[in-house]
Structure 1
Amino acid sequence: MAARNPRLDDVAAMAGVSAATVSRFINSPEVVAAATGARIRAAIEATGYIQNLAAGALASSRSRMIAALVPDIAQSIFNDTVEAMIDELASDGNSVMLALTGPDNHRLAREINMALARRVDAIILTGIVSDEGLRQRLRSAGVTVIETWGLPEDPIDVAVGFSHRAAGEEMARFLRQRGYRRPHLVVPRSTRSERRASGFITRWMHDGGPEPTRLDVNVPSHFGQGRLSYRALGDLAERPDVVVCGSDWIAQGLIVEAQAAGIRVPDQLAVTGFGNLRMAGDMRPTITSVDVDGARIAREVMRVLRSRAAGQEVETRIDVGFRVIARESA
C-alpha cells in the first residue's frame, strides 16, 4: 500500500499543539508565539506536510494566486519591475503565474481567460488592453486588475504607472537645456512609445525647435535595431546632433555602431535611451536614460492588494513618476 500524505493532524500531534494552532501559524505566523512556531515549523519539515491550498481557497474565497501578464521577457524593460513584484508577492504568501502575451499582445485575451478560469485573486498587466469587450469582462470578473507602466485616464480597475507623454516632454526639455538642436527619434511601434514621441515632438516644437526627424522600428526592441538605426542616419538630409531612442537596447546598439564608424559619443553624436536598464550604467559611454522605479511600482501593487484584502478603498490612479538620468552619452 502507498503511504498516505501527511496531514495537518500529524503536524499538530508532533508539535504538541492543536490543528487550529498549526493552521493559524501557516496563514499568519506572526500571531503564534515564537517557541510554538519553531516547534510547528520543525514538525512540518519532519513530516513533509504540504498545505492543501485548494481547500484553503475554498474556505477563504482566496486562491493566493496572482497572474502577472507581460508582453515578453527577452530584453524587456519590464524585467526589473516583474522581478520585484514576484519577490514582494511571494513574501506575502502568494504564488505568481507569469504569462507572456507577446510583443503585439496577440495572446492577451487567451492568458486573461486562463487566469480568470483559475480564479486568481488579481491580474497584473504591463501590456495595454485595448479591446473594449475584454476590458468590460475584466471589470465584471470580480478580481483586482492592476495596470502597470501606464496611467490611463479610465483604468480597468487600478493603474500604477506614469505618463509616457510627460516622459517625452521632459526629455525634450532636458535636451534643449543641454544645447541640442537637431533631434532624431527612433520609435518602436507601440502605443506607449508613440505617446512619448508625441510628447517630445509637441514640447520641442512648442519651444521653437524644428520638427524632429524619426524612424519607426518594430517591437520588441533589441540591440540590432540600434545598429540599423545608426546606418539609416546616412539617409537623412541633415545629420542630427542627438538620437532619442525608444529603449536602452536601441541606444546601446546605436552607440556601438557609431563607435565602430569612428564617431565620438557624445562629442559628435549624442544618444539617449529609455528604461534605465542595468546595462545603461555599465556601457562606455554610460547611457542617458529615463528611469522608472520598478521597485516602487511593485510596492504600490502590494499596497493595493493588501488594502483590497482588508476591504479598504484604494486610489484608482497611482502616479509613480519618472526621472531623466543624465550620463555620458548626452
Structure 2
Amino acid sequence: MSSGRKPPIMADIARRAGVSSMTVSRAFKADSLVSPETRDAILTAAEELGYVFDATASNLRSKKTDFVAVIIPSINNANFADTVAGLSEVLGRSNMQTLLGYTNYDMQIEERLIEQLLRRKPQAIVVTGGRHTQRGRKLLENSNIPVIETWDVPEQPVGYYVGFSNAAAVQLMVDHFIAVGYRRIAFIGGDAGGDTRGSDRRLGFVQAMTAHGLDPTRLIAAGPPPISMREGADAMSRLLDSYPDTDAVICVSDLSAFGALTECQRQGIAVPEKIAVGGFGNYEISDVCVPTLTTIDARSRAIGEKTGAFILDILTGSGDVSNLTIMPELIVRASST
C-alpha cells in the first residue's frame, strides 16, 4: 500500500544544494562541467532526501543502458549459476548489471525471451548454446548489439562465442576410460532435443566409441532436462537390466552420475571394481560423494568471466576481440581408477 508521500525529484535536490536542476542532472551523469565540490554537495543532498536516480529517461535520450541481457537454460543449475556469477562480477567492475531470463531448456521460450529482453535495449545479449529457433536467430542477427553465444562452439555463430565443444569434451572421458581398460561403455542421457549440449555430449560419445572400434549403442534415455539424481538412478537400473556386462558408464551430468552411483550401491555393485562411472560438470557433489566422481570440468565460471571481459572489450573498442574457445578439463577421481 502506498504511503501517499511523493518521492523526491531533481528540483528538490537542486533547492537543497543551491544549484539548478540542470546541474543536478549533470552531476548524476558525472559531467566534467560540474566541480567535485558541487557534485559532492548534490550527492549529499540526494542521500539526505532518499532520492534514487531514474536512469530510464536518461537512457532514452542517450540510447544506452547499463545492463547486459543473459539467457540461461536453468536457474538452479550450479554450472550456469557459476557462469552468471563470473559474468556479473566482471561487468560489475564497470558498473554494469545483468538482466536474467531462463528457458527451462525450451527454444520457444528462448525466442520469446530474446524478443522481450531486446525491447529493453541492453548493451549486449548473452545466450546459452549455438542453436535457436529460426525467428530467435533472426532477432539476434538484427539486434544491432553484440551477441555472445556461450557453452558451445557454433558452426555458424550469430556474432561471437565463448565456449567449448561438448562432443569433444565427452571424447576426453571416453579416451580415459579406454586407456584405463574399459571396453563395454554406456552413456546415460542426452536423448531429449531441448538440451542441445546434452545431445552433443551423447553424439561425442558415439563418435569416440566408433573411432576406437567399440560398440556405441549402449545408450540409455533419461528424459527431458534437467536430469535429476532420481532419473540418473532409474536410468542406471535400466542399463544394468539391459546390458548387465557393462563395465563403465558416462552420464550427461554429475547429478545423473551421482544417481547412477547410488543405484550401484543400492544393488551392491562395486564402483569402480565392477563398473566405472563418469559425470560432467564438476559439481561440488562430485568431489564429496563416495567414491568421488570422475568428471569433466567445463570451467563454467571462467566462461562467465571471459564473456564479461569480452563484452567490455567490444563496447569500449579495446583489446583484440575474437571468438574464444574454453578448454574443458578431465578430472580423474576414484570412480574410474
* Short-chain TM bin: 0.7 to 0.9
CA distance in 1, matches of 2:93, 2:15: 28
Aligned to 1:210: 215
Letter in 2 for 1:285: P
Three-state SS of the structure 2 residue aligned to 1:102 is coil
Three-state SS of the structure 2 residue aligned to 1:283 is coil
Aligned to 2:312: 306
CA distance in 2, matches of 1:186, 1:98: 30
Letter in 1 for 2:95: G
Specify whether residues 177 and 38 from structure 1 end up closer, same or farther in structure 2 by C-alpha distance, changes over 3 A only: farther
- The answer to whether residue 163 in structure 2 is matched with residue 161 in structure 1 is yes
Contact 1:146 1:160 (8 Å CA) reproduced: yes
Match of 1:245 among 223, 242, 251: 251
Equivalenced residues, count: 328
Could you tell which deviates more after superposition, 168-177 or 157-166? 168-177
Letter in 2 for 1:5: P
Aligned to 1:291: 297
CA distance in 2, matches of 1:27, 1:170: 51
Q: TM-score, normalised by structure 1?
A: 0.87
1:78-157, aligned counterparts within 5 Å?
Answer: 78-157=80-159
1:19-58, aligned counterparts within 5 Å?
Answer: 42-58=44-60
Letter in 1 for 2:172: E
- The answer to whether residue 332 in structure 2 is matched with residue 326 in structure 1 is yes
Specify whether residues 314 and 125 from structure 1 end up closer, same or farther in structure 2 by C-alpha distance, changes over 3 A only: farther
Shift of residue 235 of structure 1? 2.8
Contact 1:25 1:37 (8 Å CA) reproduced: yes
- The answer to whether residue 241 in structure 2 is matched with residue 235 in structure 1 is yes
Specify whether residues 35 and 151 from structure 1 end up closer, same or farther in structure 2 by C-alpha distance, changes over 3 A only: farther
Could you tell which deviates more after superposition, 201-210 or 14-23? 14-23
Alpha-carbon RMSD across the aligned residues, in angstroms, is 3.0
- Quote the sequence identity (%): 30
Q: TM-score, normalised by structure 2?
A: 0.85
CA distance in 1, matches of 2:167, 2:149: 17
Specify whether residues 18 and 75 from structure 1 end up closer, same or farther in structure 2 by C-alpha distance, changes over 3 A only: same
Three-state SS of the structure 1 residue aligned to 2:335 is coil
Gapped regions of structure 2 (runs ≥ 5): none
CA distance in 2, matches of 1:116, 1:54: 15
Specify whether residues 35 and 166 from structure 1 end up closer, same or farther in structure 2 by C-alpha distance, changes over 3 A only: farther
- The answer to whether residue 176 in structure 2 is matched with residue 171 in structure 1 is no
Contact 1:286 1:329 (8 Å CA) reproduced: yes
Aligned to 2:272: 266
Gapped regions of structure 1 (runs ≥ 5): none
Contact 2:131 2:196 (8 Å CA) reproduced: no
Shift of residue 153 of structure 1? 2.4
